[in-house]
Amino acid sequence: MKDNRRDFIKKGASLATALSLGAVGASASAVKPETTKTLPAKKVAWPVVEGPDTPKMTMNISPTDVSSKLKAIKQFGCDYVHMSGPRLPWTVENIQPIVDKFKAAELTIINMMVGFSGSIIHGTEGRDAEIKLVQDALVVAGKVGIPVVEYNFYAHRLTEGYYSVPGRGGSSYLGFDYNRVNPTTGIAPKDLPPTEKEPAMTRDQLWANITYFLKAVIPVAEKAGVVMALHPNDPPPPISRGSEQIMGSFADWKKMLAIVDSPSNGMTFDCGVSTELGEDAVEVLKYMAARKRINHVHYRNVLLDTPRMKYVEVFIDNGQVNMFAIMQELVKHNYKYGIFAEHPRGNAIDKERGGDFISYLYNQAYARAMLQACLTLEQGYKG
Amino acid sequence: MSNNRRDFIKKGGSLAAALSIGAVGASASALKGTAPVPAQKVPWPVEEGPDTPKMTMNVGHNDMSSKVRAIKQFGADYVHMDAPALPWTQAQIQAIVDRFKAEGLSIINHRIILPPSILHNMAGRDEDIKKVQDAIRITGKVGIPVIEYNFYSHRLREGYYNSVGRGNSRYLSFDYNRKMPNPADNNWNEPRDRRPDEMQFAASELKATEAEPATSEEQFWENITYFLKAIIPVAEESGVKMALHPNDPPPPLSRGSAQPMGSFAGWKKLLAIVDSPANGMTFDCGVSTEIGENAIDVLHYMAARNRINHMHFRNVKVETPRIKYTETYPDAGQVNMFAVMQELVRAKYKYGVFAEHPPGNIIDKERGGDFIGYIYNQAYARGVLQSVLTLEQGYKG
């Protein structure tokens, strides 16, 4: 990386013009007093340069949100947002106004999640029509300049295994335990049956269906200039209401990335889920980044008891994931898409105020600090 | 520093027992992660201990709101506060210590306000100094390690005005010479500090008041020397460190009074009056930058002499040293916040880090108060602290 430092700074200098996916304004401000020659930083001028090839802080927001959250996101150092897109079909006519609305608030949509019907996952009637809608959505994303489309491929998301664990200062952590008998229902998550809406799927069926899907959509994504990000199975136990999970192990992630060999066929790298699997999150990151397959990042922390089976999601600063190491590797690999500091913990202020924005704010500020620390080092600062 | 790494980690192992100023709980938890630890070499959450900086937030000593709980939740195990007016009883201060202890919070610093008799050498000075000495003894007995104080004749808040920051947030700017033809347009941050007939004046034009008479540089040094010689020996005996906050804003004159605490030379002179770690300062990387210094050089000077007894972690953009600048978000100013934290950790700075002066934001505007702004700064500082600790404990990516 050190070889790239000068190149990096050079790029940074012309970042405003070079950046196709939006303005980098977190370090910019309406107030720009000239700094004098007594710069306190040694070698690396602050605020540290961010550019086309550095990670982008992003926060989640609804396309229709008109609350103060919109302004707060910008104020608290995020120039990017991501969101669940509207229901399919997407058209330029219904997506462009969303892009424009956020642009007016100086926010760029870095990722729009697409939801599709069970026919694609289950390989049932209507699949091809639904795939056509996804293909059209990718074309629209490309036209309106949204660089990433994120999606899930669960037969069933086993949220039934989550429970609340008392955390720091009376906060609440999110525990997952595959074998814990729910005190209300008397059933452990591992014993839950399939439902009519979400029938049991085998690995073979799911692999066949995701392969069919990827071969249909990735070429369209490539042509549209859009990259796709598959979110891993979270929680990641091997079986979820009778369905085998194909996105709950590193081996399976590798297999998925190999189905279509294209940067458009990527994933959401989640350092939390990677750790929940018992993997070294830095190794997972390096594998994916080397192949240019990280198209979105979830930046969060966890304490693991038993891989895939039992863990607790904690505050970002008190889990076992080395958050500095994660950010440093992302920066070293010139990762340029969104970093979302997600799964924040319940706290006294949100409890009073309603919602969960203050907890997201804590994570966002923490992640931004890590980003600036890593950029400072990568740009050559030596203390 | 790398030589000390093993020593550091060894110490960390027994940190709970060794730490006299309170429990380090931010990284502790009833829950422990098991193998495989994904971090390379440095296990997370990264070790914090007796010789690492402590995140602290400001709180009222009688605050009973959700803020107290939120501080702990958002990763600060320490608080600091304005102490009650002097004189105190030990029972009174102990009750405050105990109340926060029950929330898992240790008081790392409490501030005392010095009366005009001490600042201006007026009648009753010796009696008032006696009250400060008694307060220092009580502070030592209840286990609060640091007392912070100011020594301003006048704090020139009249030079502050509101400016437009990131996403239309409200930044705090200072301009010693700013005036506008129409007083109603001046957008002063603290208009209450001016008399109605002073609204059109630049801060540099404001005159002394009866309550805060003009103090010359010579008088300042006489008065603070008298004070320090009387109290630092008591602080040493009591195991308490004093932290003088620098003049902020730092222009040379403040309503006619000299401001020796608005220059690095003045800070050096102050620290030399009594050569003791108990005679220390609040190191403020923002103020250090406002006066045109390299904040890292200031930090090195003070840390080498063990004189940093409290720390303000904030950022700024300077236009003219001492005269004109804007306070920004910690991530949007010219101070290399990573460098500042790295040097604090390397110096084994062990007292409080307070991420202060947050800009005004829309959530606080809706909710009232400024706590959300402080949460942002606290989270940011905690992120920088953990990045630095990870590196200093030997992580190599």
Nearest to A322 among B69, B359, B395 (CB): B395
CATH number at residue B47: 3.20.20.150
Peptide bond just before A193 cis, omega within 30 deg: no
Asked if the model's pLDDT at residue A26 lies above 70, the reply is no
Tell me, yes or no, whether A383 lies in a domain: no
Write out pLDDT tens, residues A320-364. Answer: 999 999 999 999 999 999 999 999 999 999 999 999 999 999 999
Identify the pLDDT of residue A38. Answer: 47
3-state secondary structure of A173: strand
Tell me, yes or no, whether B34 lies in a domain: no
Residues 343-362 of A with CB under 8 A from B: 345, 347-349, 351-353, 357-358, 361-362
Residue B361 and residue A75: Cβ atoms within 8 Å? yes
Tokens (6 digits) for A312: 């607790």
Tell me, yes or no, whether A363 lies in a domain: yes
Identify the pLDDT of residue B221. Answer: 98
Residue A347 and residue B379: Cβ atoms within 8 Å? no
Residues of A in contact with B328 (CB under 8 A): 29, 31
Determine the structural domain holding residue B57 and report its residue range. 2-25+42-392
Identify the pLDDT of residue B266. Answer: 98
Identify the pLDDT of residue A42. Answer: 55
Tell me, yes or no, whether B33 lies in a domain: no
Instruction: Write the Ramachandran bin of A289: left for phi over 0, alpha for psi from -120 to 50, otherwise beta.
Output: alpha
Nearest to B383 among A39, A347, A366 (CB): A366
Write out pLDDT tens, residues A56-106. Answer: 999 999 999 988 999 999 999 999 999 999 999 999 999 999 999 999 999
3-state secondary structure of B319: strand
Identify the pLDDT of residue A19. Answer: 35
Q: Would you list the DSSP string of A42-92? A: SSS-SSPP--TTS-EEEEE--TT--STHHHHHHHTT--EEEEEPPSSPP-H
Q: Are strands A80-84 and A108-113 parallel, antiparallel or unpaired?
A: parallel
Q: B380, B393, B395: best mutation site toward chain A, by most A Cβ within 10 Å?
A: B380
Tell me, yes or no, whether A158 lies in a domain: yes
Nearest Cα residue to B56 out of B394, B368, B367, B350: B350
Residues of B in contact with A76 (CB under 8 A): 329, 361, 376
Tell me, yes or no, whether B377 lies in a domain: yes
Nearest to B395 among A30, A280, A324 (CB): A324
Tell me, yes or no, whether B303 lies in a domain: yes
Write out pLDDT tens, residues A116-147. Answer: 999 999 999 999 999 999 999 999 999 999 99
Asked if the model's pLDDT at residue B210 lies above 60, the reply is yes
Identify the pLDDT of residue B302. Answer: 98
Give the residue from chain A lying closest to B288, CA to CA.
Answer: A40
Residue A321 and residue B38: Cβ atoms within 8 Å? yes
Asked if the model's pLDDT at residue B28 lies above 70, the reply is no
Tell me, yes or no, whether A101 lies in a domain: yes
Tell me, yes or no, whether B109 lies in a domain: yes
Tell me, yes or no, whether B233 lies in a domain: yes
Quote the mean pLDDT of chain B: 91
Nearest Cα residue to B224 out of B312, B304, B120, B317: B120
Are B310 and B352 within 8 A, CB to CB? Answer: yes
Q: How far apart are CA B341 and CA B335, in angstroms?
A: 11
Identify the pLDDT of residue B286. Answer: 98
Write out pLDDT tens, residues A201-238. Answer: 999 999 999 999 999 999 999 999 999 999 999 999 99
Q: How many domains does chain B have?
A: 1
Please report the ipTM that was assigned to this predicted complex: 0.90
pTM of the shown model: 0.91
Write out pLDDT tens, residues A272-289. Answer: 999 999 999 999 999 999
Tell me, yes or no, whether B243 lies in a domain: yes
CATH number at residue A304: 3.20.20.150
Nearest to B367 among A47, A301, A353 (CB): A353
Q: Tally the C-alpha atoms within 13 A of residue A249's C-alpha that lie toward its C-beta.
A: 11
Instruction: Write the Ramachandran bin of B68: left for phi over 0, alpha for psi from -120 to 50, otherwise beta.
Output: alpha
Residues 169-188 of A with CB under 8 A from B: 169-171, 173
Q: How far apart are CA B395 and CA B397, in angstroms?
A: 6
Identify the pLDDT of residue B184. Answer: 87
Average pLDDT over residues A258-265: 98
pLDDT band for B183, please (50, 70, 90 cuts).
Answer: confident
Asked if the model's pLDDT at residue A39 lies above 80, the reply is no
Q: How far apart are CA A307 and CA A277, in angstroms?
A: 5
Residue B380 and residue A317: Cβ atoms within 8 Å? no
Instruction: For residue B30, give the DSSP letter.
Output: S
Tokens (6 digits) for B194: 């001016």
Quote the mean pLDDT of chain A: 91
Residue A100 distance to chain B (closest CA, Å): 17
Using the Cβ of A1 and the Cβ atoms of chain B, whether some distance falls under 8 Å is answered with no
Q: How far apart are CA A143 and CA A91, in angstroms?
A: 10
Determine the structural domain holding residue A144 and report its residue range. 2-27+38-378
Asked if the model's pLDDT at residue B97 lies above 90, the reply is yes
Q: How many domains does chain A have?
A: 1
Residues 15-44 of A with CB under 8 A from B: 25-36, 38-42, 44
Tell me, yes or no, whether A315 lies in a domain: yes
Tell me, yes or no, whether B55 lies in a domain: yes
> From the centroid of its chain, how far is CA B108?
11
Residues of B in contact with A26 (CB under 8 A): 166, 331-332
Using the Cβ of A45 and the Cβ atoms of chain B, whether some distance falls under 8 Å is answered with yes
Residues of A in contact with B391 (CB under 8 A): 324
Asked if the model's pLDDT at residue B14 lies above 70, the reply is no
Asked if the model's pLDDT at residue B59 lies above 90, the reply is yes
